[in-house]
Each structure stands twice: as C-alpha cells, then as structure tokens.
Amino acid sequence: MDHKEIAKLITLLENEPDRARDILKKLPKRICPVIGFTGSPGVGKSTLIDQVIARLRSAGKTVAVVAVDPSSPFSQGAFLGDRVRMKKHFLDEGVFIRSMASRGALGGLNESIYDVVELLEAVGFDYVLIETVGVGQAEVEVRYVADVVALVLSPGFGDEMQLLKAGVMEIADIYVVNKSDLEGNDSLYDQLIGFLTFAGRDALNVVKTSALNGSGIEELVDRIITLWKNFAETEKLKQLRKERLRHHTETLARRTLQKYLSAVDSEDPYEGVELALKFMCERLKYGQGGGT
C-alpha cells in the first residue's frame, strides 16, 4: 500500500470510525514494535523521534510516526507542529509521518489511535512510533497503545517530588533524560537513578540523550529494541496486546454509548444512562446498531 492510500485510510478511521471495522477486516493481522514517546511540552520529544527515525533507517528499518498535538477546546481547531522537527525524513519513502489532533480525547492521544496503529502495523512498517501531546501528570493512555513507553524528561523538570508522583512517572519502561547538552542534566539523571533504585525498579533503563547533537541515541534505540525483544520472548507482549485490546474495546463502548446518550433527555443522570442502554438494546435487537 502506498503512502497516499495509507493516508486516506487514516483520514477515514479518524472521521468515520463506524467504518473502521470493515477497513481493518480487509487487512492482514500483523504485529510490529509500537513505541510510545511521552513527556511534558518542550522536552524534545519530536526532535528525539527525529533522531530515533534516523537510527532505525540506518539499520534499514521502515518507520511510521503518529504525532499527536492538542485540539482547541474552544474552536476544535489545532496547530500540528511536530513534523517540523522531522524534516530530514520528508523525502524518505521508508518513513511515513502523520500529525494528528487529539480531538477532545483526554489521555494524550486521539480516540482513533487504536485503529490507526493497527492499520500501520498491518501495512508492514517495521516500527510504529507514537508521540503523545505534551503531557502533565495524568495522561497515561499511551501505556495501553504502545508496547514500550519512553518518558522524555529534561532539566528544569522539578525536584524529586515530581518523581514521586503517581501517573505519567509510573508508566515508563525507559526514562530518557534529554538535553544532556544543557546544565542541570546530571543532577536530574542522578536523582532519577536514586529514585528508581529505592523504588525497587530497574535503574538500567535510564538513558541520557541529546536530541540536538545525537549523543545517547544509539543506546536509547538499543535499549528499546532489547526491551521489546524481551517482551516478545516472554508472555509480556501478549499481556500488553491483551490490555490494548481491552482499552480499544472500552473506547468503542464509550463511543457507542455516547451516541445513544446524546439522544436521551432526562433530568436524572442515572435514569439517563438506563434510558440510553435500553434504547441501545432495542436498536441492536432489530439489527440497526451493529456498528459503533
């Protein structure tokens, strides 16, 4: 499938999720490493991904990137600027980059991400990289979509109090201390190692990088690949994919129910849900609501 066809299908998955089932059914089921990059705005996620793409390409691997930026809660418009950092790959036929707006999803991604990743795996890319919106502390959905999650941090992140907080800090398989060319990087790196050690977690998966000058990228990519291979050799990958399926199902269920909820007019929220479910069951019984 060429880039144009893939791009058109992504648009369909995003705009007409009801058709996702038919589109994906026609494609073979295929798995490849799906790697998530998350972290606060401005820590260098896009620039880091740019370097990771270069590294994977030099090993002859093809790469698809989905980069999500936020939609406006007021206009629903969006400014999608992640690919600006990935310019040197625009003409490479082995690289496909797609910007995506979050469209109201709160987890740092976009509701159609599950379908889009399935599509990108099916059409044969060797790696799928996902960049979340710049997140704060609680946007953890990437954990359910990606097999390996890299949390990107940079100096100025805060002190150890931030490392102790629940949420985003907990979901990472790999911690990337980016901007190692800047001052303050060593102290963040040391704090992180110290924190992971006393938390009883694997302090090995902390990597110091500079997306600017490329240092540490080779090590980062090696760690990612090793980790994924480990997952694939054990039961871990199966578990992760099962979890992804469950969250995909939940997203579909929510969307389906929402459709019926919007048709319900009730003063009582509990009754509203009951009415929506009843309405949905009736429709399904007559075979009109089969999709989502």
Partner 1 sequence: MKKYRILIAKPGLDGHDRGAKVVAHALRDAGFEVIYTGLRQTPEQIVKTAIQEDVDLIGLSILSGAHLQLSKKVIELMKKEGIANIPVFVGGIIPPDDVPRLLEIGVTRVFGPGTPLSKIVQEVREVLEGVTSTSGS
- Binding residues vs partner 1 (CB under 8 A): 3-4, 7-8, 10-12, 14-15, 71-72, 74-81, 83-85, 87, 90-91, 96-99, 101, 103
Residue among 7 and 138 whose Cβ is closer to partner 1: 7
Residue among 30 and 88 whose Cβ is closer to partner 1: 88
Residue among 17 and 155 whose Cβ is closer to partner 1: 17
Residue among 96 and 189 whose Cβ is closer to partner 1: 96
Could you tell me the smallest distance in angstroms from the CB atom of residue 7 to partner 1? 4
Could you tell me the smallest distance in angstroms from the CB atom of residue 48 to partner 1? 17
Residue among 4 and 25 whose Cβ is closer to partner 1: 4
Q: What DSSP state is assigned to residue 63?
A: E
Could you tell me the smallest distance in angstroms from the CB atom of residue 155 to partner 1? 25
Contact (Cβ atoms closer than 8 angstroms) between residue 180 and residue 153: no
**Main-chain phi, psi angles of 101, to 5 degrees:** -90, 150
d(CA 54, CA 4): 22
Neighbours of 84 (CB within 10 A): 11
Could you tell me the smallest distance in angstroms from the CB atom of residue 39 to partner 1? 21
Residue among 74 and 198 whose Cβ is closer to partner 1: 74
Contact (Cβ atoms closer than 8 angstroms) between residue 49 and residue 131: yes
Residue among 7 and 281 whose Cβ is closer to partner 1: 7
Residue among 27 and 277 whose Cβ is closer to partner 1: 27
Could you tell me the smallest distance in angstroms from the CB atom of residue 96 to partner 1? 6
d(CA 205, CA 222): 11
Distance of CA 243 to the CA centre of its chain: 14
Closest C-alpha to 85, from 40, 121, 117, 131: 131
Ramachandran assignment for 266, one of left (phi > 0), alpha (psi -120 to 50 degrees), beta (any other) = beta
Could you tell me the smallest distance in angstroms from the CB atom of residue 233 to partner 1? 33
Could you tell me the smallest distance in angstroms from the CB atom of residue 6 to partner 1? 8
Report the amino acid identity of residue 37.
F
d(CA 42, CA 177): 13
**DSSP states along 135-182:** --SS--THHHH-SEEEEEE-TTS--HHHHH-SSGGGS-SEEEE--TTS
Buried b / exposed e over 119-142, threshold 16 CB at 10 Å, is bbbbbebebbbbbbbbbeeebbbb
Could you tell me the smallest distance in angstroms from the CB atom of residue 101 to partner 1? 5
**DSSP states along 10-37:** HHHHHH-GGGHHHHHHTSPP----EEEE
Closest C-alpha to 67, from 28, 117, 121: 117
